[in-house]
Amino acid sequence: MENSIKKIANPHIVDLIPYQPGKPIEELARQLGISDIIKLASNENPLGASEKAMLAAKKALETLYLYPDGACFELKEALSRFHHLPFNHFTIGNGSENILEIIVKSFLMPGEEAIISQYTFATIPLILKSFGANIVTIPTQAWQVDCKAILNTLHAKVKMIFIVNPNNPTGTYVSKSNLELILEKASPETIIVVDEAYNEYIDAEDYTDALPYIEQYPNLIVVRTFSKAYGLSGLRVGYAISQAQVADILNRTRLPFNVNSIALAAATASLNDQAHVEKSKALNDRGKKKLTEGFKKLNLNFIPSVANFVTVHVGEKALDIYEKLLQKGVIVRPLVGYGMGEFLRITIGTEKENARLLSALGEVK
């Protein structure tokens, strides 16, 4: 029966390997029967959501019997004010993954080519494969996106370019000059998607986000999320920023009521609490310094990161170290699925969580 079902399934789907998220705390508790667990696996904000977002979410519970606003009006209005861009430049999604899927569904036909960088956000190739796209993977240079190689690969069949900036899982970034080079040289008929999930954490001098180029390049789509610095991972809210003509296409593809009312309320309120984002960034900066100093003391190499995680080289026993950390109630992220089997990605946590991670890692490495 299983083989017969596979025969009638979409051929693009049959061979897909499902995305493996960071292990949930509840799952580890069930497996090991322990309760003292910290999760440093999914790049969540250790401070959680802001108080304003929590209060808005609670208020939204009063109207759970009603469908959410399918147009996401209040959130779009808040984003328009926050980013100083027109209301019709925004598309709202159920997390940035939903936005990425909407983009591919809207602009990419089966058999058309999409360029991605090696070691990039694993959901992107998964979405592309599910829609039958031909993926062109550009090798990195010292863990950096090789922008010149991307440009050398461009031809008429390339319909889409994905740049994750800052990049996950490496924590590296594309400089302003390289971003501008891609925007200038790519065909106007090639959609350029810049995923900026970790934008709030970076302060490198030669970095710029892509928003200043929106009005200049009609083929540019910027993707943002409320899951990281805003601490709303559990509610799933992301959005795209583009010119109005692009947003019009994306919103034709977006399914109705794709974001629930609690998520919309919390996201809208969180934009009005930038103090929480600044506090989260400051905690992350301190934690990154503590972790990287600790990795050096443990003689562990790591990829310098501008995000809210650090990817550490622990050698060929990475999975064994990962399992031993689980036994100590510490969840990190193995990167076998990214082709980085000797690395672990570690989210920057609170001061106490970082200290516990370093202690546990020193015991098991």
Examine the domain organization and report whether 88 and 194 are in the same domain.
yes
Q: Give the CATH number for residue 353.
A: 3.90.1150.10
Same domain, 344 and 204: no
Between CA 99 and CA 166 the distance in angstroms is: 18
pLDDT per position as a tens digit, 31-68: 999 999 999 999 999 999 999 999 999 999 999 999 99
Residue 275: what pLDDT?
A: 98
Least Cα distance to 335 among 131, 133, 115, 118 occurs for: 118
Q: 189 and 103 in one domain? A: yes
Domain-terminating residue out of 273, 307, 330: 273
Distance (Å, whole) CA 122 – CA 282: 28
pLDDT(160) > 80:
yes
CB 170 within 8 Å of CB 201: no
Across the chain, what does the average pLDDT equal?
96
User: Does residue 125 share a domain with residue 16?
Assistant: no
> What are the tens digits of pLDDT across the range 108-156?
999 999 999 999 999 999 999 999 999 999 999 999 999 999 999 988 7
- Final residue belonging to a domain, choices 273, 304, 335: 273
Which residues, listed in sequence order, are joined to residue 343 by a DSSP beta bridge? 313
pLDDT at 6: 81
pLDDT tens, position by position, 183-203: 999 999 999 999 999 999 999
Task: Identify the pLDDT of residue 2.
Answer: 59
15 pLDDT band, cuts 50/70/90, is confident
Residues 163 and 96 in one domain: yes
User: The domain spanning residue 235 has which CATH number?
Assistant: 3.40.640.10
CB 61 within 8 A of CB 251: no
Lowest mean pLDDT among 1-15, 31-45, 283-297: 1-15
Residue 1 has pLDDT above 60, yes or no: no
What lies within 8 Å, CB to CB, of 46 at 6+ separation is 283, 287, 347, 348, 349, 350, 353
Determine how many CB atoms are found less than 10 A away from the CB of residue 260: 17
Q: Above 70 in pLDDT, residue 75? A: yes
The domain containing residue 32 runs over which residues? 2-48+275-364
Residue 341 corresponds to which amino acid? G
Residue percentage of the chain with pLDDT more than 70:
99
